[in-house]
């Protein structure tokens, strides 16, 4: 069931875009991008040149994941970040496997980029950057980022055509200059003109991007040698359901001269969505990566003069969009009203938030001689604990498949997580070969985390949390509510604000995605969120 590249049953979530939507989210696929050319197809598997998935099917409390990012070199080579295999797989223009670059297994790399000198860079969610030249490690760089909260937008080319790191708050981090303040020399700045217009300013151009619905991301992807600006444009239709549309706009001298629409098909993505599903080369070609059941495919997207969209009357009828100012997380007055009604009682969303925070930031001492989970057919220690050799202070309850061990809940040997490890249970288990918790391990999984936070009295799974939660609309989605799908569940903590628009959602969740297999504060993009159904606790 699990790839031999890296046997690990996980609950994962990746930042990227989903065009296949379930539950209260709605699929728009009435106008497909049939003229896109498939330029690469790679088999899924554990062999040389293949890309690994975490599983071959989505099971309860296990969200499928695959490659997180890709890049295309000037000569046409394809670089796919194999997250599960901890490798970069390199293919030529004909799709032949050329070489494999191994990555450390104790870090979670989620983005890959290549510069004009064929230096390859990979970036972890905690700001660790590796630079490779001719397949060999040349340099390691740690950029200053928050180690407790995801805040990285990804690798990008700055105004000097150097690869740097951009944060969600638009701060730019140079790989050789340290932290660069946004106000000094940003590569681009973005600001809202009105509800449907966003202005993007570079050193030599000013571009106004117009949207028909709610703009949720506008960012510069590349500047070509001909002076063109290639800009990612994302807009969301928010209502009972949610749909996020992604395009690449081509601009010159402030005027749009072309647009490329991301491919929308019903079965586009088999795994959770890659963090970077879209890539633009220096000369202006746009590519899209799709993870299908048995293959990973890359398409070249065509540019047209006419602006294409999949948002039609049928889709709007399904979603029933609300005015932006009536959407809960845009409306500060709505948020304040809900906060003032908090009663801090059992099953209350406010209490659940506090309990989720406590499980996320709880401190405990990890003694590997006594607490390390053995690597067996049915047990695998969490990545962040696997190679620890001496007692260290840890933060956050470790991920444990089937676990329900919170600050005062448990289905292991003790009354809570700390009590259970004191009794001799080992810390965490990310192996999902069994269909229940492995005896002798302690910790918590995604649905156990929500069950404990809301004091539901027992551990519920992603398949039956609906007994305690009811569907809500995206325009009423607020702090303490949950995003739910068959393979995973998370709790909304707050909204990450951009230039007058929310860029995405900060969450509390127990997950093996990102560095540290544990309860953590994490981040969900709009694109990722639309593959979940919003729920709120039943009163």
- List, for residues 403-416, the tens digit of each pLDDT value: 999 999 999 999 99
pTM, two decimals, is: 0.87
Residue 331, domain member (yes or no): no
Each residue's pLDDT tens digit, 343-377: 555 568 889 999 999 999 999 999 999 999 999 99
Residues 202 and 116 in one domain: yes
Residues 404 and 512 in one domain: yes
Residue 356, domain member (yes or no): yes
418: containing domain: 346-537
Residues 401 and 516 in one domain: yes
Residue 26, domain member (yes or no): no
Tracing tokens 């009663």 back to the chain, one arrives at 343
Residues 42 and 126 in one domain: yes
Residue 5, domain member (yes or no): no
Residue 24, domain member (yes or no): no
- What totals of helices (H) and strands (E) does the chain contain, helices first? 8, 33
Report the interhelical angle of 446-453 vs 349-361 (nearest 10°): 130
Residues 360 and 275 in one domain: no
Residues 435 and 530 in one domain: yes
CB atoms within 10 A of CB 124: 21
Task: Inform me whether the pLDDT recorded for 1 exceeds 50.
Answer: no
Q: Which two tokens stand for residue 278?
A: 């879209």
Residue 120, domain member (yes or no): yes
3-state secondary structure 29-93: CCCCCCCCEEEEEEEECCCCCCECCCCCCCECCECCCCCCEEEECCCCCEEEEECCCCEEEEECC
Min mean pLDDT across 172-181, 274-283, 289-298 is at 172-181
Q: Which helix (H) or strand (E) holds 365?
A: strand 363-366
What confidence score (pLDDT) does residue 100 get? 94
269 confidence band (pLDDT: 50, 70, 90): confident
**413-430 burial code (b ≥16 CB/10 A, e <16):** bbebbbbbbeeebbbbbb
Residues 275 and 379 in one domain: no
Each residue's pLDDT tens digit, 443-466: 999 999 999 999 999 999 999 999
339 confidence band (pLDDT: 50, 70, 90): low
Residues 240 and 91 in one domain: yes
Each residue's pLDDT tens digit, 14-41: 223 333 333 344 444 345 455 789 999 9
Q: Average pLDDT, stretch 210-216? A: 91
What confidence score (pLDDT) does residue 153 get? 85
- Tell me how many domains the chain contains: 2
Residues 238 and 352 in one domain: no
Residues 143 and 261 in one domain: yes
Residues 396 and 297 in one domain: no
Residues 426 and 494 in one domain: yes
Residue 489, domain member (yes or no): yes
Residue 11, domain member (yes or no): no
Task: Inform me whether the pLDDT recorded for 499 exceeds 70.
Answer: no
Q: Which two tokens stand for residue 339?
A: 């906060």
What confidence score (pLDDT) does residue 30 get? 40
Q: Which two tokens stand for residue 452?
A: 């404990």
CATH number for position 258: 2.120.10
Rounded to whole angstroms, the maximal C-alpha distance in the chain is 68
Q: Is 302 exposed, middle or buried (0-12, 13-18, 19+ CB in 10 A)?
A: middle
Pick the last residue of a domain from 319, 354, 387: 319
């Amino acid at each position: 069931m699990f790839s031999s590249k890296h046997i690990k049953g996980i609950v994962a979530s990746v930042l990227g875009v989903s065009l296949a939507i379930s539950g209260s989210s709605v699929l728009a696929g009435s106008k497909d991008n049939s003229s896109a050319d498939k330029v690469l197809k790679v088999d899924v598997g554990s062999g040389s040149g293949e890309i690994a998935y975490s599983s071959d099917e989505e099971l309860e409390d296990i969200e499928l994941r695959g490659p997180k990012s890709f890049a295309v070199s000037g000569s046409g080579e394809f670089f796919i970040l194999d997250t599960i295999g901890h490798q970069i797989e390199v293919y030529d223009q004909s799709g032949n496997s050329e070489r494999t670059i191994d990555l450390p297994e104790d870090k979670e790399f989620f983005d890959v980029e290549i510069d004009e000198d064929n230096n390859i860079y990979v970036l972890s969610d905690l700001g660790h950057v590796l630079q490779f030249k001719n397949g060999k490690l040349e340099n390691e760089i740690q950029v200053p980022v928050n180690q407790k909260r995801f805040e990285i937008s990804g690798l990008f080319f700055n105004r000097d055509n150097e690869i740097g790191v951009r944060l969600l708050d638009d701060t730019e981090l140079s790989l050789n200059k340290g932290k660069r303040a946004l106000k000094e020399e940003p590569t681009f700045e973005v600001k809202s003109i009105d509800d449907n217009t966003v202005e993007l300013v570079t050193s030599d151009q000013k571009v106004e991007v117009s949207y028909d619905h709610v703009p949720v991301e506008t960012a510069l992807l590349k500047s070509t040698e001909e002076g063109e600006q290639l800009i990612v444009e994302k807009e969301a239709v928010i209502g009972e359901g949610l749909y996020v549309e992604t395009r690449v706009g081509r601009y010159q001298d402030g005027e749009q001269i072309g647009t490329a629409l991301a491919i929308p098909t019903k079965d586009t993505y088999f795994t959770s969505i890659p963090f970077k599903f879209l890539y633009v080369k220096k000369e202006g070609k746009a590519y899209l990566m799709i993870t299908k059941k048995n293959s990973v495919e890359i398409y070249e997207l065509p540019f047209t003069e006419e602006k294409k969209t999949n948002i039609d009357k049928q889709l709007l009828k399904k979603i029933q969009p609300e005015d932006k100012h009536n959407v809960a997380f845009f409306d500060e007055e709505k948020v304040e009203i809900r906060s003032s009604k908090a009663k801090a009682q059992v099953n209350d969303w406010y209490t659940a938030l506090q309990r989720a925070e406590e499980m996320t930031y709880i401190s405990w001492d990890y003694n590997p001689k006594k607490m390390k989970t053995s690597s067996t057919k049915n047990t695998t220690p969490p990545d962040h604990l696997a190679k620890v050799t001496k007692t260290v202070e840890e933060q956050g309850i470790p991920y444990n498949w089937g676990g329900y061990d919170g600050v005062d809940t448990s289905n292991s040997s003790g009354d809570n997580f700390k009590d259970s490890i004191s009794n001799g249970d080992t810390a965490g288990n990310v192996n999902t070969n069994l269909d229940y918790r492995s005896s002798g391990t302690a910790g918590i999984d995604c649905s156990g985390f929500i069950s404990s936070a809301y004091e539901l009295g027992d551990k519920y799974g992603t398949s039956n949390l609906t007994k305690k939660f009811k569907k809500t609309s995206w325009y009423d989605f607020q702090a303490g509510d949950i995003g739910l799908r068959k393979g995973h569940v998370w709790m909304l903590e707050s909204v990450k604000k951009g230039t007058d628009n929310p860029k995405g959602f900060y969450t509390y969740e127990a997950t093996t995605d990102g560095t540290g297999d544990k309860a953590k504060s994490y981040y969900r993009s709009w694109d990722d969120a639309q593959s979940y159904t919003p729920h709120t606790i039943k009163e």
